[in-house]
Amino acid sequence: MTLVLLLPVPVPLAGATARHCGSRPRRTRGHDRQESVIPSRPHVRPRARALAALAAVTATAALAALAQPAAAAPPAAVPIDLETATVAQLDTLLAAKQTTSLAITQGYLERIRALSIVGPALNAVQTVSASALTDAKAADAVLASGAAHGPLLGIPVLLKDNIDVKGIATTTGSVALQGNVAPADAPLVSQLRAAGAVILGKTKLTEFANFLTSGMPGGYSSLGGQVLNAYDVTQTPSGSSAGSGVAASVGLAPITFGSETSGSILSPANANSDVGVKPTVGLISRTGVIPISATQDTAGPLVKTVADAALALTATDLADPTDSASAATPLSGHDFTRDLNPGALARARLGVVTTRTCLTALCDGTGGVAGTDYVDTSQRPVTPAGGTPPDTQVLYDNALAAMQAAGATLVPVRVRVPFIASPGNPGVLTYEFKRDLNHYLATRTSRGFGVKTLQDVIDYNNAHAAVALKFGQLQATTSQAVDLSPGSADTATYNANRSRDIAQSTGPINVALAGPDGVAGNADDVSSLIYLGSNSAGIGAKAQDPTVAVPAGYQTGQGTPPGSRRPINIGFLGAQYSEPTLIGLAYAYEQATRLRRPPSSINPTLYRCTALPGSPQDGCPAATIPVLPPDTSNLGGLPGIVPRAALVRVYGAQRVTSGRKGHRYVVKVFPSPLAPDVPVGGRLVGLYVDGVRRATLLTGRDGTIGYLVGFRPGRHTVTAVFFGAVDLLKGSSQKVAVSAR
């Protein structure tokens, strides 16, 4: 038997523009009761519904199809381990014609299937772009032509699912936004495409970047579920850029992007042993990124090496006139790869931070009594009474020693956190979340999309509480209660709070960077402040200052408390737009220590029984679990549910009986839902062959559906129908050619 598949036309490829390899590409600047377990979509007007349905078909099918083995021949092997491959290594292979972008992209898609979807099911990737392979083939054509091109030509990139990619839903992990198909790329994405990157898909995140409620676990969302940490699945992957952090750590893409308001890049980088860059607010355009706070939000890369981070920044730092902060950046078009200096630590002065937390107003002046008026906290972890030094203390000491050995001078500095007599309400982020999310929903969503305000999100969640509100929406409702009118008391309090945030973050940081004498511009100034883990996140976010975080090793499990091989990072914080200096310092430290290890070497048990080549298989569970055929007697008779047709992808068939009138086959198909509320692999109605209903059997739990079907030789039209929500969308059918043998 031969199956001839007539597949849907892929999403058109955006036009590629020739770029000079290694040079800065020029870009045109464009102008951040009982409930159903599967919630219905937010209201979408009919015209927009068709567009959303088409996008859902392509994007959902692309990701879902990874859940089972492909019928086609396996992709050509890439001559490098993609878990640890860097952009420079992949670029070298592409230039030498030892591999192709198509093979690289297929390799990463296979890793997504083997590690994120099945296997250990790290659950890091939300959506795979339906055009990823087409885009990779286009990149290969440019490479073959010898034409000039951008620095990321053919390199796959994953983006946090709060960043707009045209034709793909931007959900920020919320079931309320599952139909928010982006009508245009964010400028960040446009710049990546102009640099030649292949947009591989979207990563999962803590819902609404961890600003929906209080107490939501890092990496959890109502739409995406829980992301797992590959280094230790019992520990948080942290957030909110959890999916990007995990994807970077296990090699689901060589470059991933997250976003940060306060810690959402630096904390996942620390938890997942990534290099993370939280840039100055405005270095990368915020337009087209679902926001929390216009004053603190920024996108940034999560990668394996500082060199990869420099490439990612270089590709995305062009000024954006639609973003007031980005329009003013002095680093537009800067090539950060030129800042990769292995000798940058020689003669550098680095501030070793002690934080002074003021408990009374007296600490802010000239007096104060330790323990009463202030508490000094070193970055160096403290040994418990009667205990052994914690692993983090040893790792911190080792990091400082490595900097000294490379020629750096370590200068003790104090960063003062002033006393706040009355915090006031609303907080800065609470006020800006309502203001800025409303602006995004009103200006960046399609005309027919029904969710246009924060109140719409709250209403949708309340109507679908079983799925949407496992952890509540306290922060959303608190923000919604804020009065945004110019003359309101809330607005006056917000303005006062924001002014205080700037003074109490930028001021202490600048004083510390000025060195012991506190006067900027003198010889005792320091280039950067050194922080353990993600400890710079809070004060750096309020000051809009950058931090570059680098892996500093792994706990050994010998200290108090035991560490269980968990990663730890060292962060280099600097003044606004000091990224060139920080990249140099971080690169020099990375090259001097080379401490990063992939998850497969730190947590090898995770990789047992996966589909990856070389994965240990001894002692693994049986690949096939026997199941009884389900009772199909009541199919089609359920009241109040309308069937919905779906695209069918036939990926394999096995002949089970033969006869004079033809053959009987178990035909495996995979549904591509026409809308997000159609569950993959479930709520099955039936299979129709040439318009005649056939027996229906749901045989797999991984999205695989098997049907026992009689085929005569010839061409047949096969349609699968699934239970949908309340309306029936027109479906497409798979044409199958069957020949007897």
List residues with catalytic annotation.
Answer: 160, 240, 264
> Helix axis angle, 87-95 relative to 101-111, nearest 10°?
140
3-state secondary structure at position 352: strand
Classify each residue of 657-680 as buried b or exposed e, where b means 16 or more C-beta atoms within 10 Å of its C-beta. Answer: eeeeeebebebbbbbbbbbbbbbb
- Confirm if 128 and 291 have CB atoms less than 8 A apart: no
CB proximity list for 233: less than 8 A, separation 6 or greater:
120, 606
Cα–Cα distance, 186 to 174 (Å, whole number): 19
Cα–Cα distance, 663 to 712 (Å, whole number): 7
Ramachandran sector of residue 273 (left: φ over 0; alpha: ψ -120 to 50; beta: rest): left
Question: Which position has the token pair 């096995």?
Answer: 654
Q: How far is the CA of 98 from the CAs of 110, 140, 200, in angstroms?
A: 19, 12, 21
Query: What secondary structure letter does DSSP report for 561?
Result: S
In degrees, to the nearest 5, what angle opens at C-alpha 436 toward C-alphas 548 and 161?
Answer: 55
Provide the residue type at 347 as one letter. R
374-378 vs 349-358, strand pairing mode: antiparallel
In degrees, to the nearest 5, what angle opens at C-alpha 695 toward C-alphas 692 and 700?
Answer: 130
3-state secondary structure at position 486: coil
- Confirm if 738 and 712 have CB atoms less than 8 A apart: yes
Query: What secondary structure letter does DSSP report for 16?
Result: P
Question: Which position has the token pair 């495996």?
Answer: 668
Query: What secondary structure letter does DSSP report for 708?
Result: E
Q: What stretches of 70-154 show up as alpha helix (H) in DSSP?
A: 87-95, 101-111, 132-145
**Nearest alpha-carbon partner for 208 in 478, 491, 540, 537:** 478
Structural Rg of the chain based on CA atoms: 27
Number of H helices, E strands in the chain: 18, 21
Q: How far is the CA of 31 from the CAs of 197, 322, 445, 623, in angstroms?
A: 22, 5, 16, 53
Beta strand ranges found along 555-642 (DSSP E): 567-573
Cα–Cα distance, 152 to 150 (Å, whole number): 6
Beta strand ranges found along 121-269 (DSSP E): 125-128, 156-160, 198-203, 220-221, 225-226, 255-260
Count of residues in the chain: 741
Q: How far is the CA of 278 from the CAs of 130, 472, 517, 574, in angstroms?
A: 29, 29, 28, 11
Cα separation of the two ends of the chain: 6
Provide the residue type at 736 as one letter. V
Provide the residue type at 410 as one letter. L
3-state secondary structure at position 15: coil
Cα–Cα distance, 219 to 56 (Å, whole number): 23
In degrees, to the nearest 5, what angle opens at C-alpha 688 toward C-alphas 684 and 693?
Answer: 90
Main-chain dihedrals φ then ψ at residue 123, nearest 5 degrees:
60, 40
Provide the residue type at 75 as one letter. P
3-state secondary structure at position 423: coil
Count other Cβ atoms within 10 Å, centred on residue 620.
11
**Nearest alpha-carbon partner for 427 in 350, 495, 345, 520:** 495
